[in-house]
Amino acid sequence: MKNTYPKHEKLKSKTSIDFLFSEGKSVSKYPLRLVYAPMSLEKGERIKMGVSVSKKYFKKAVDRNYFKRVLRETYRLNKHLLLDKMGEPYVFMFFYQTKDRLSYQEINEKTIQLFEKFIQSLEHTP
Q: Does the structure show a pLDDT above 90 at 111?
A: yes
Which amino acid would we find at residue 76?
R
Architecture of domain 12-111: 2-Layer Sandwich (3.30)
Which amino acid would we find at residue 104?
Y
Q: What per-residue confidence (pLDDT) applies to 3? A: 85
Answer for the pair 19, 56: CB distance below 8 angstroms, yes or no.
no
Q: What per-residue confidence (pLDDT) applies to 125? A: 65
Answer for the pair 126, 57: CB distance below 8 angstroms, yes or no.
no
Full-model pTM: 0.91
Domain coordinates of the chain in residue numbers?
12-111
pLDDT tens digits, residue range 31-80?
Answer: 999 999 999 888 888 999 999 999 999 999 999 999 999 999 999 999 99
Per-residue HEC secondary structure of 47-66 comes to EEEEEEECCCCCCCHHHHHH
Q: What per-residue confidence (pLDDT) applies to 34? A: 95
Q: Does the structure show a pLDDT above 70 at 126?
A: no
